[in-house]
Amino acid sequence: MEWLESRLPDTATKGAMPPNGCQIWHEDSQGRRHGPCLKWYPGSNQLRSATQYIHGQRHGQHISWHPNGAIDVTGSYVDDHESGEWTRHDDTSTLLFECQCVEGRGEGPAQSYYPSGQIARTWTYKDGAEHGRSQVYDIEGKPCLDEHYKDGIRHGQRRAWVGGVLIEETHWVNGTQHGPHRKWWFNGNPCETGQFEDGCRAGLWVSEYFTGGPMWSGEYKSGLRHGQWQFFDIRSSVIGQAQYCDGQPTSGTGTITAETATADNTYMPDSTAVLRSAFVSGGPVPTTVITGFLGAGKTTAITHLLNSRPAGETWAVYINEYGEVGIDAAMFPGDDGLVIEELSGGCICCTSNLPFVEGLGALLAKMRPDHLIIEPTGLADPGALTSSLTLRLPDQLDIRAIVCLVDPRRLADNRYVNNPIYQAQINQCDLLVANRCDLAQPIHMEKFRTLAASMDAIPTIETQQGRMDASWLARVRRDRPAAPITHPIHVDAHGFIFEEGARFEYKLLEQTLQRLLEDPALFPDGWLRAKGFFPLEESSLVVNADLQEHRVSLHWSPSAATGPGRLEIVAHQVANHSHDETWAKMKAALLDCIVT
């Protein structure tokens, strides 16, 4: 900064506005800028930028500042072109980007960063265009994207991950997909395998179920189905074949016919028939959907139901978690009469509907439970879910009353009451249950009873600690028109998975979680759900956190589950606030709780 401080006029060094109000510069004998050129924010004493000139051309150091005085951009010019190292910072002076320039063009390695300091992306410039390897990482440092460029055009292998799980591997030539193509489901199972030629599908392609095994296989020619195709049910039995010529079906046998095996279907043309063909016989399976917004206590309530089920019966629970990290399955008791299946990552009423139906098909192809409980994510629209099940499996599932749990304390919070999903869950239910009544104040119970009185002939029950009677599941579902999907999700979800074998110190972990979850700097608008599974030195525990008026209660219980420690947080989205730094700080603090 010596070059700048030595040339500032007295008024500028004192932080006052320059004579012309916004900028000041020096000139040579020919009237060209020569020396420091200074700009201020309009109406402010804060410098906006300082650039060195020589005889009318930018030559030398350049600095710009944020309105709060923090450094924004630093770099240098040679003969009016960007040259050397350039950096950009946020308004706390945290480095966000750095690269090298030669004659005004990017040259060599470049990097961008998250506000936490974690590398977000690395790439290389050649003559101003991306050239070579480009890598993108998430806030925890896990890879998201790894691809190659040549002269600014994608060229070479490209791989993509979600949450550290590889989901796609492709190959590109001069900006066009060409060569092997592979996709995986987010549970690691293969999804799709094939080949591209000049941007078009070609040769043999195979699509597989989320739960494993082929869904269909067939040949492509210039992007169109061509030749023999086979279709499989969820147990890998062939259920149909079709012949194509230049994208048009010419014949078909089995479930698949020339009329149903249309050229534009991506997945199984008749998924309902596929699932029906695979189910274990024995009549429709009694099915209960237990819904409720995040934090209503669904998992605890289902645990009570499982513990009170009739002797000798086998029950199945199919769980959907919105986040990528599954926790709920670890919270259920281990029992020979129970089958617990879990689908994480997305919502079964919309984005994860196909994996949900396939997973349900795989479960019921192996067994016929005496009762099936479906626990959707707290962000699911139960009307959309049950409409999908009724459409696809009208004779396989006996869908009974939809049970909706609500926490009466949330009825005083407009963020819940006015949420379309919250409203849909209540409006679509056949039994409304007020849970956690022991934690509610009289004003909360009054609001619940007012709500209950407004419901059209919907029975309501008040309970606490998730205590539910298995007889409630025999209630009949009301007839109603299919509901449209109502899904404006405005949440930030993040899952932490710790190293296999890591053990936590319980007291330190409890204190750390309490401190983190109550910190308003980390969660300015609070959070909706916090659940975790933590192996200790001699046992394992699951934790279910409850937030009320900025105070956190941690509810611990033993777990027979195995695997690495994990934690899932779902928080309110806040305008102009990113939770990336929150996740980084939480992970660092939780790592300090590991003893082995």
Neighbouring C-beta atoms of residue 304, cutoff 10 Å: 16
In a domain, 330, yes or no: yes
CATH number at residue 526: 3.30.1220.10
Note the pLDDT tens digit of each residue in 23-82.
888 888 898 999 999 999 888 888 999 999 999 999 999 999 999 999 999 999 999 999
Note the pLDDT tens digit of each residue in 190-204.
989 999 999 999 999
In a domain, 119, yes or no: no
What is the pLDDT at residue 425?
87
Neighbouring C-beta atoms of residue 162, cutoff 10 Å: 15
Contact present, 318 and 375 (Cβ < 8 Å):
yes
168 pLDDT exceeds 50?
Answer: yes
Are residues 291 and 260 part of one domain? Answer: no
Q: What mean pLDDT is predicted for residues 347-366?
A: 63
What is the pLDDT at residue 256?
47
Q: Which of the four pLDDT bands, split at 50, 70 and 90, describes residue 146? A: very high
What is the pLDDT at residue 435?
92
What is the pLDDT at residue 152?
92
Give the count of domains, the chain: 4
What is the pLDDT at residue 126?
94
Nearest to 360 by CA among 416, 278, 436: 278
Are residues 314 and 449 part of one domain? Answer: yes
In a domain, 422, yes or no: yes
Give the pTM.
0.60
**How far apart are alpha carbons 249 and 392 in whole angstroms?**
24
What is the pLDDT at residue 100?
94
Q: Among 224, 241, 272, which residue terminates a domain?
A: 272
In a domain, 406, yes or no: yes
**Which residues are within 8 A (CB) of 57 and not within 5 positions of it... i.e. 6 or more apart?**
77, 79, 80
In a domain, 148, yes or no: no
Q: Which of the four pLDDT bands, split at 50, 70 and 90, describes residue 121? A: very high
**Which residues are within 8 A (CB) of 485 and not within 5 positions of it... i.e. 6 or more apart?**
349, 350, 381, 384
In a domain, 172, yes or no: no
**Strands, E assignment, 498-563:** 527-535, 540-548, 551-558
Name the residue range of residue 62's domain: 2-113
Are residues 411 and 532 part of one domain? Answer: no
Are residues 323 and 249 part of one domain? Answer: no
Are residues 222 and 100 part of one domain? Answer: no
Positive or negative torsion for Cα 402, 405, 410, 411: positive
Q: What mean pLDDT is predicted for residues 282-289?
A: 84
Higher pLDDT, 165 or 327: 165
In a domain, 143, yes or no: no
What is the pLDDT at residue 208?
87
Are residues 458 and 320 part of one domain? Answer: yes
Note the pLDDT tens digit of each residue in 457-495.
788 889 988 888 888 888 878 766 555 555 555 677 787
Nearest to 46 by CA among 26, 70, 62, 25: 70
In a domain, 150, yes or no: no
Are residues 352 and 221 part of one domain? Answer: no
CA atoms within 13 A on the CB side of 245: 2
414 pLDDT exceeds 60?
Answer: yes
Are residues 550 and 426 part of one domain? Answer: no
Are residues 382 and 451 part of one domain? Answer: yes
363 pLDDT exceeds 80?
Answer: no
Q: What mean pLDDT is predicted for residues 496-506?
A: 90
What is the pLDDT at residue 261?
43
Structure token digits, residue 17: 């506005």
